[in-house]
Amino acid sequence: MRNTDLRAARASFTVKKRIRMCGRPAVPNIIITGMNLSKAVVLRRQPIQTPVGEFANFDIVSVGPDDFVSSALLLMTKYNKRRLAVHDGERFVGILEDIDLLGFLAGSAQIVAGRIDRASSLQDLAIAAREIEAQMRALRRQGVKVEVIAEIVSDLNRRLLSRLFEMVAPAELRTSGCLIVMGSEGRGEQTMRTDQDNGLILEGPVEGATLESFRNEFSGGLESFGFPPCPGDIMVRNPVWSKPVSDYLADFRRWIVLPDDAAHMNVAIIYDAKAIAGNVQLLDGAKTALIDMIRGEQAFLVHFARAVDAFETPIGLFNNLITSEGTGDALDLKKGGIFPIVHGVRSLALEQGLRETSTDKRILRLCDLGVLRTGFGRDLNQAFRFLLTLRLDGQLAASAGASGTLVRPAHLSSMERHLLRDALQVVKQFREIVRHHFKLGMF
């Protein structure tokens, strides 16, 4: 077996092999730990006759015995849990602890998450930010699937930004503002750290000096962590992306009534946004308003979807891979494959008023609604994940001078080239589906 096969098998190891089996046939729907007992008796001085239900944990997160270890790690990171209950569908059969995974996986997202939560200074957060990339590299070496890596990294990044928000935002902004992330970060598809893509929605006007100070501290803090400014200035520091919700709603109406390329991009940015701190209802309300404004605006949707044709799919008539001049016989994964899937799916999802943000979940919902055939939706998701995997490997090699989105077919194995051709053929077919659905050839 090759090393890559060994890594994949190791990452796919099931929970069943790692759990500590319970000694009784069933476990109550609570968890109580030694630390719970110590705090109750020593700190709170509770009598030993106190019912355990008063300080037990009831918010149980569980996995199945045959779930992958990588899935368990994702749940631990996402819900900030040190233990997961193992449920076989009828009863609880064991406990999986983070210590069980530490010796199994090269790194632990749980440790990074804990350091972020315990951070008391910007320097502490900067250290944790560096560890996020190290964690991602460790997971990739383990052969963990790219979609799991992306979700873990996105969750850690969101946790990092949320903690920074708590540190530098004044109390009035923490209660009356909503911090959002956008782009691939909003969709949960981020792997390697890129530029800042974030914004702030305010419940109402905020005193100018207070808001300006926060904008500079927040964006400056992220820059010190290694998140460079967004070239398009789509970030909290820009007043266009940190203002009252009423101003955003006015922008929405203008973007739809007087659409241009910038308006289409801005709609895509907001539609992909995810709330990570503060009053999350502000983003929910803004998205609802945006979807309601667009409902029935077919002309807008047609022009919005047209960007799916912005770049040619680099696959020829005879299934040959087409490289670009000036790139050293390389093709651009983002332009030729990833973007058409993301934007085509986004266009169909927006037309349907879907609230999912990730591309894979949008594909599943479009299949449920009959917009896409189930079999093709499965192929599209597989193609998307394969392209993301190639991009991630390219990003990991970027330190050696390679580009994260450019791939040289000559450097791929024969199997990878075959899979890349198949993926790009799916992209090409999907573009035709989108073009036919929105009748782009008529405009």
User: Looking at residue 396, which CATH number applies to its domain?
Assistant: 1.20.120
Indicate the pLDDT class of residue 194, thresholds 50, 70 and 90: confident
E strands, 249-332, where? 274-278, 331-332
> By the 8 A CB rule, do 30 and 53 touch?
yes
| Structure-token match 């923490």, residue found | 174
Alpha-helical regions (H) of 119-234 = 122-141, 146-168, 171-176, 183-187, 208-224
What pLDDT sits at residue 6?
Answer: 36
What pLDDT sits at residue 7?
Answer: 42
Q: Exposed e or buried b for every residue in 335-365, given b needs 16+ CB within 10 A?
A: bbbbbbbbbbbbbbbbbeebeebbbbbbbbb
Q: How far apart are CA 146 and CA 341, in angstroms?
A: 16
Q: How far apart are CA 196 and CA 183, in angstroms?
A: 9
List Cβ neighbours of 334 (8 Å cut-off, separation of 6 or more).
391, 405
Q: Write down which residue in 262, 294, 326 finishes a domain.
A: 294
> What pTM value is reported for the model?
0.77
Tokens describing residue 105: 């996986």
Task: Let me know whether 128 and 268 are in one domain.
Answer: yes
Q: Which domain CATH number covers 31? A: 3.10.580.10
> By the 8 A CB rule, do 166 and 208 touch?
no
DSSP letter for each residue of 59-109: ---EE-TTSBHHHHHHHHHHHT-SEEEEE-SSSEEEEEEHHHHHTTSSS-H
Query: Which candidate, 209, 120, 210, places its Cα nearest to that of 169?
Result: 210
Task: Let me know whether 319 and 368 are in one domain.
Answer: yes
Beta strand 83-87 pairing with 198-202? unpaired
Task: Let me know whether 132 and 259 are in one domain.
Answer: yes
Task: Let me know whether 268 and 385 are in one domain.
Answer: no
pLDDT (tens digit per residue) in 262-310: 999 999 999 999 999 999 999 999 999 999 999 989 999 999 999 999 9
Task: Let me know whether 274 and 143 are in one domain.
Answer: yes
Tokens describing residue 377: 């939706």
Task: Let me know whether 424 and 372 are in one domain.
Answer: yes
What pLDDT sits at residue 101?
Answer: 64
Q: Write down which residue in 255, 277, 294 finishes a domain.
A: 294
| Structure-token match 């520091």, residue found | 237
User: Cβ of 57: how many Cβ atoms within 10 Å?
Assistant: 13
Amino acid (1-letter code) at residue 33: T
What pLDDT sits at residue 42?
Answer: 63
Of these ranges, 317-321, 375-379, 409-413, the one predicted with the greatest mean pLDDT is 375-379
Task: Let me know whether 423 and 331 are in one domain.
Answer: yes
Of these ranges, 171-175, 312-316, 371-375, the one predicted with the greatest mean pLDDT is 371-375
pLDDT (tens digit per residue) in 205-251: 999 899 999 999 999 999 999 888 988 899 999 999 999 999 999 99
What is the domain range of residue 68?
3-102
Q: Write down which residue in 74, 102, 130 finishes a domain.
A: 102
